Amino acid sequence: MARLLLLLALLIAGVTGAWAAEERVSLPDGVELPIRVRVGLRVLDVLKIAEVAGQGRFYVEVTQRWADPRLRFDAVARGATRIDRVGDEADAYLKTIWTPALTVDNLVGERESRTVAVSTYANGDVVFIERYESNFRFRMNMDAFPFDTQDLTLSLSLPRYAKQEAILIATEADRQLSGIESGLSVVDWRAVRLRFSNEESMGWNARSYSRLNATVTLSRFAERYLLRIFIPIMAVLAVSIFVLWSPSLTEKDKGTQIFSTLLALAALSFTFEASFPGSISLNTPVAQIISLGYLYLVSVLLLDVVLAACAARPGARYYVACVALQRQVRWALPAIMAIICVGAAVRAIPT
């Protein structure tokens, strides 16, 4: 009989404990719905930007704040107005209370180098801080490379709760605590700003869910690409001036020079794509200049050969026109190509 009573007592205690735990992880009582989950975000470091893959590796710190009256305690009896938990203790505590279950929609892979901390205040406020390193998927536009500025958005949402139950907000205090560090691991980028924006997303059963977008704006150091990209291109294309202005070259020599230059330009394009992924494969000013460079070099060779053949016959009908046109082409073609190249680069510079 005693054993039966003991088993019954343990069963009642287990059911009561499970019921109490279930109550604690459900939506807080006595709080006006929707529950406002305040979010702050700090980008501690940008470790990698992969333009072609449309991914970036960030080291971030996400801060969440919400109120749960069930977690109130007597500060006098406890001897503290706040209880802090860090690491494994924080993870274990989070399993016993209600959390917003915040997710990053464009997160790729697992969270690495993760550290957590939870602070519970006497009035029931909860502050949950999570630091981790991970890959994120972004939409990148390379049309202005290397003068581009990228807006990389981290989409934060609450997939478990519709907007009638919980919403994400970033108050002015949260915005002041948010930001992006100036010294980044990616050497060719600099931090510009971080801004928040709210939007709704449709989920299961056509319910609307709250989403908070944290947009990190990075600007590329364009001046670091002038010597590495534009100077080699201009040096290769400058061979055309030698072909046009050197009267001692034969047609065979000119053809050899132009075709060698075409091969050098092709080699440059492969080198640029390997060193700066996306610079040639995507619609960038560099890709446009190199593509026009092929057409320009072939045009120089064809026009020079045709006009030289015409100018070599003084008795020809269009001899005078060919000589005059040959003189104009020598400076007009390089000038037109230079204007086009400068225009493609200037047009890509953000205003």
pLDDT score for 17: 41
Distance CA 34, CA 160 (A): 13
pLDDT digits (tens, 9 = 90+) for 7-46: 444 444 443 443 333 444 677 877 788 899 999 999 999 9
CATH of domain 28-220: 2.70.170.10
Which sequence spans correspond to the domains of the chain? 28-220, 226-348
Which CATH architecture describes the domain 226-348? Answer: Up-down Bundle (1.20)
Mean pLDDT to the nearest integer, 229-255: 86
Per residue in 249-269, pLDDT tens?
Answer: 888 888 888 999 999 999 999
Question: Is residue 316 predicted with pLDDT exceeding 50?
Answer: yes
What per-residue confidence (pLDDT) applies to 9? Answer: 45
pLDDT, tens only, 99-125 = 999 999 999 988 999 999 999 999 999
DSSP letters for 161-229: S-TTTEEEE--HHHHHH-EE-SS-S-TTEEEEEEEEEEEEEE-GGG-EEEEEEEEEEEEE-GGGGIIII
pLDDT at 2 over 70: no
Residue 36 and residue 66 in contact, taking contact as beta carbons nearer than 8 Å: yes
146-166: per-residue pLDDT in tens? 888 999 999 999 988 988 899
Instruction: Write down the pLDDT at residue 22.
Output: 41
221-226 contact pairs (CB < 8 A, 24+):
221/187, 221/188, 221/189, 221/190, 222/146, 222/147, 222/349, 224/146, 224/188, 225/146, 225/276
Each residue's pLDDT tens digit, 286-312: 888 999 999 999 999 888 888 877 777
Q: What is residue 52's predicted lDDT score, i.e. its pLDDT?
A: 83
Q: pLDDT tens for residues 196-215?
A: 999 888 766 668 889 999 99
Residue among 141, 232, 150, 218 nearest 181 (CA)? 218
Q: Tokens in use for 143?
A: 């049309």
Q: Which tokens sit at 50?
A: 């992969």
pLDDT computed for residue 204 by the predictor: 67
**Which tens digits make up the pLDDT trace of 58-74?**
999 999 999 999 999 98
pLDDT bracket for residue 222 (50, 70, 90)? confident
Length of the chain: 351
Provide φ and ψ at 172, rounded to 5°: -65, -35
